Amino acid sequence: MAEGALPDVEAGLVSFLLAQASITTLVSTRVFFGVPRNSPTLPLIVVQRVGGGDDVSEAAIDNAVVTLHCWGRSKLEALTVTNTVRTSLRSIRRVTVHNGVALYGIPIIDSVVWSPDPQDDTPRYILTARVTAAVAE
């Protein structure tokens, strides 16, 4: 990877979530970058970068803003997934995931938003988090 290159924060976050037994117990391996087409199996989690950018220091640190969409078959199931994701994110204190991304801490920066799908009312909560990450050395 080129010097000063920023990490793939979304892939790092997906890898982290899939390494958490508490997450996979609920969603199996259904952590994606977008909602799968053709009747996706619920519950599932979607990780999407929505903003952020370089840290002002000399190091190649990314301060990404990411949304985590926690889908369920019911409001309670979506909330259970949401609370489990929040707990997992709070546990991060510099962890390196298999694709070479070092995650340093992930605070939830907005409130948790109840946002059922506007087309079919499928239950969903959305978390917005700031992900501080770098390429692992």
Tokens coding 33: 């970058």
Domains, the chain, with CATH or none: 9-35+45-135 (3.30.2000.30)
Task: Please write the tens of the pLDDT for every residue from 23-80.
Answer: 999 999 999 999 998 889 999 999 999 988 776 666 678 888 999 999 999 999 999 9
**Whole-angstrom Cα distance, residue 95 to residue 133?**
10
Tokens coding 20: 């958490």
Task: Please write the tens of the pLDDT for every residue from 78-124.
Answer: 999 999 999 999 888 888 887 788 898 888 876 799 999 999 999 99
Backbone angles phi, psi at 14, to 5 degrees: -60, -45
**Whole-angstrom Cα distance, residue 4 to residue 125?**
35
Confidence at residue 55, expressed as pLDDT on a 0 to 100 scale = 63
> pTM of the prediction?
0.90
Residues near 76 by beta carbon (within 8 Å), at least 6 away in sequence? none
Backbone angles phi, psi at 75, to 5 degrees: -60, -40
Q: Is the pLDDT of residue 1 over 70?
A: no
Task: Please write the tens of the pLDDT for every residue from 2-26.
Answer: 556 778 899 999 999 999 999 999 9
